[in-house]
Amino acid sequence: MKLIVCLKQVPDTTDVKIDPQTNTLKREGVRSIINPFDLYALEEGIKLKEKYSGVVIAVTMGPPQAKYALEEALAIGVDQVFLLSDRAFAGSDTLATSYIISQAIKKIGKFNLIICGKQATDGDTAQVGPGIAAYLNLPQITFVRKIEEINEKFITAERLTEEGYDVIKSKLPCLITVVKEINTPRHPSLKGKIKAKRTKITAYDSKELNCDLIRTGLRGSPTSVDKIFTPPVRPAGEILPANSENIKKIAKIINKEIEIKKICP
């Protein structure tokens, strides 16, 4: 089985501190990590490989430092990595990124399954996975919480929904995005870390990927960001000890909330 996992390097949000005076994120010195949801994608890929044998290939697009994300992927257990890095890719939105990654996957050739995390924690768009599927003309199952069955031709997976889950069967090759319920990511082993350190990671540029430069970087990105702001801090909740008096008080508060919602839903 040939499995491709797409991953992204994001700022470690647990490392980001908030400046209490200005309420903005302090980004200096913030570390980069693999997008936490992509770790589930990686784990699922490696588990499938262990079960059915085959290879797992990790792909990332980003600046040269993104190689550290691939180094970690190697340490965790992928067999091969592709770093897509070029100045012409800078400023790519989700559309351009999907295009660039799909070009890389075309270069990789035949494969069975592409696995992505459900979304990245820095943009929360959840668009790149579906975008890649669209560019490669593949069926897709998003928000997968469990792979029920997979063979050479088909995959059956549970797709998480707000109410419960759908069971979806698709032919392969196909693309799935996964949610964190799907598995528990493993730690990189020391052997893996050593192997990763000793692997030279080279970057592929726009030429090697046969990219049409009109579709990459800022030029290829129709999305524009109007404004970035920190959402207002939510005031702390009130904790009332349980007694009959407070029950009435709470009921009143809830009723008022419902009233407000009725007026301005």
Partner 1 sequence: MIKIEPEFEINFDILFIGAGIASISAAYYLKQLINQYNQENKNKLNNITIGIFEKSKAVGDHILSGAVLEPKILDEFIPAWENSNIPVKIKVSQDNMYFLNSKGQIPFPVIPPGMNNHGNYIISLSELLKWLSNECEKMGVEIYTSEPIKDLIYSKEGKVIGVKTGEKSLDKEAKKKANFSPGAEIGIKILAAGEGSYGFITKKLINKYNLNQNRESQSYVTGIKELWEITPENFSKGEVIHTFGYPLDFKTFGGGFFYHFKDNLAALGLAIGLNYENPKLNLQEELQKFKTHPLINKILSKAKLIEYGAKTISEGGYYSIGKLSGEGFILIGEGAGLLNSQKLKGIHLAIKSGILAAETIFEALKLNDFSLDQLSKYDQKIKESWIFKELHAVRNFHQGFQKGLIPGMIHTGLQMFTGGRGLINKFKTQEDYRHLKKISEYSSKNKEFTPDGKITFDRLTEIYFSGVKHEEDQPCHLKIKDLNICINRCHEEFGNPCTLFCPAKVYEFENKEGLIINPSNCLHCKTCEIKDPYNIIEWTPPEGGGGPNYKNM
Q: Which of 47, 146, 180, 186 binds partner 1 (CB under 8 A)?
A: 186
**Which tokens hold the place of 129?**
């996975």
Q: Which among 11-19, 52-60, 227-235, 240-248 is the span making contact with partner 1, rule CB under 8 A?
A: 11-19
Angle at which helices 190-197 and 67-76 cross, to 10°: 140
How many amino acids of this chain bind partner 1 (CB under 8 A)? 16
Of 10 and 95, CB closest to partner 1: 10
Quick check: bond before 173 cis, omega within 30? yes
3-state secondary structure of 79: coil
31 is a contact residue toward partner 1 (CB under 8 A):
yes
Of 25 and 172, CB closest to partner 1: 25
Angle at which helices 94-108 and 128-136 cross, to 10°: 50
252 is a contact residue toward partner 1 (CB under 8 A):
no
- How many beta carbons lie within 10 A of that of residue 4, not counting itself? 27
**Which tokens hold the place of 28?**
């200096």
Q: Which among 93-101, 119-127, 136-144, 191-199 is the span making contact with partner 1, rule CB under 8 A?
A: 191-199
* Shortest distance (Å) from residue 40 CB to partner 1: 12
**Which tokens hold the place of 143?**
């928000």
Q: Which of 190, 233, 242, 264 binds partner 1 (CB under 8 A)?
A: 190
Dihedral sign from CA coordinates of 125, 11, 117, 88: positive
191 is a contact residue toward partner 1 (CB under 8 A):
yes
Of 30 and 134, CB closest to partner 1: 30
Of 194 and 240, CB closest to partner 1: 194
Nearest to 35 by CA among 78, 66, 79, 57: 66
* Shortest distance (Å) from residue 186 CB to partner 1: 5
- How many beta carbons lie within 10 A of that of residue 196, not counting itself? 21
Q: Which of 129, 130, 185, 217 binds partner 1 (CB under 8 A)?
A: 185
Sheet containing 165-171: give its strands across.
Answer: 165-171, 154-160, 140-150, 174-178, 113-117, 2-6, 55-61, 80-84, 203-204
184 is a contact residue toward partner 1 (CB under 8 A):
yes
Binding site for partner 1 (CB under 8 A): 14-15, 17, 21, 29, 31, 184-187, 189-191, 193-194, 197
